[in-house]
Amino acid sequence: MGLPQVNIVFKTLGATAIQRGERGIVALLLKDTAALGAHVLTSITDIPTGLSAANKKQIELAFIGGERTPNRVVVYVYDPNSTVTNGTPQDVALNYLETVKFDYFVFPEIEEADKTKITTWIGLQRANGKMVKAVLPHHAADKEYIINFTTENIVVGDTTYTAAQYCSRIAGLIAGTPLTISTTFQPLPEVDSVQSYTKDQLNQAIDNGEFVIYHDGEKVKVGRGVTSLVTTTQDKGDDFKKIKIVDILDLMYMDIRKTIEDKYIGKYANSYDNKVLLIQAINAYYEQLEIDGLLDTGKNSAEIDLDAQRVYLRSIGVDVDSMKDQQIKEANTRDKVFLLSRVRPLDAIEDIDMKVLI
């Protein structure tokens, strides 16, 4: 009878994309000697009492959020001097975080030697289908999934924070920002002052893939919502320099992959009709994202990948040279499905050129 439940799931995911995207989850890795282990917090009232004052503050910073507060903060506390059976205490913590859902990872006391390790770990999570990202201090990873926060001397009342100590705040800000807007020029009203930048220094930092905050003469705000990606390729162009775009693409990837795995794979005959029904369901999902302003209208589609299907059919001995495109589409591909999708996420308004004629 086709794929009615898959269609329903995709429509539901499309309709709730903004809500899910604007209330992300922050994962905090903390060093301490008390309250060890995992804690899932939905507000600052859930903060474990045994934590140090500094670690409690890190959780409070994450919960400030953006337009919304994060949906929750997942905290794993470990004692770096403890003894574990396999690996290190940090490895145990990371192994736990692999098993839970989160969007942005922060390690406030990260050491220089661990930055590459964490970047690699985040990359492995994404390769396995878990589209997470990290906010790291002074780490030019050149990756779309690493936010390189570099602003120092962040003064909040009587306290001055380093970039590392304020990554929790930045992660919460991003996690609490709706997918329909960006963090560019988003204010941080609690901050009194930060390191000073000239305009050229700001522009250079942003071009270098640095996420910076600065004082505009009235308030402290985000320079531009960029990832650390600087080196573009044919597969990853300038779009991947924008946090907003990467967040939309990551949400879409996880929605589509999870739905196909849970509701489609192994559950239906691999007929042309069922392939078409799946494509229609994915396109319905895109249409909902267009309605909600996440995708550019009329520029998003899924279809059978003719080129890939033709190559596969040839590899199993099918004479494709005399076949028409429709015959290629309808051909039996055993247990394989080849799809091609084109999407055009919408960025936020950030650069305005205005001519004034007199």
Q: Are strands 301-304 and 154-156 parallel, antiparallel or unpaired?
A: unpaired
Contacts of 197 (CB under 8 A, 6+ apart): 205, 212, 214
Neighbours of 210 (CB within 10 A): 23
Residue 3: per-residue pLDDT:
54
Contacts of 89 (CB under 8 A, 6+ apart): 78, 79, 80, 81, 82
E-strand ranges in the chain read: 25-31, 37-41, 72-78, 104-106, 133-137, 146-149, 154-156, 159-161, 210-211, 213-215, 220-222, 301-304, 339-342
pLDDT tens string 150-167: 999 999 999 999 999 999
Tokens at 162, concatenated: 């380093």
Neighbours of 334 (CB within 10 A): 9
Residues in the chain, pLDDT under 50: 1
Q: Print the domain residue range for 42.
A: 23-177+184-222
Residue 5: per-residue pLDDT:
65
Q: Which CATH number belongs to the domain containing residue 66 in this structure?
A: 3.30.1370.220
> In this structure, is residue 311 part of a structural domain?
no
> In this structure, is residue 43 part of a structural domain?
yes
> In this structure, is residue 12 part of a structural domain?
no
Evaluate whether 84 touches 101 at the Cβ level (below 8 Å).
no
Look up residue 326 and give its amino acid.
Q
> In this structure, is residue 207 part of a structural domain?
yes
CA separation for the pair 300, 298 (Å, rounded): 6
> In this structure, is residue 306 part of a structural domain?
no
Q: How many domains does the chain have?
A: 1
> In this structure, is residue 158 part of a structural domain?
yes
- The secondary structure of the chain in percent helix, strand, coil, rounded to multiples of 5, reads 40, 15, 45
Full-model pTM = 0.94
CA separation for the pair 190, 267 (Å, rounded): 52
Question: Minimal CA–CA distance to 94: which of 121, 60, 129?
Answer: 121
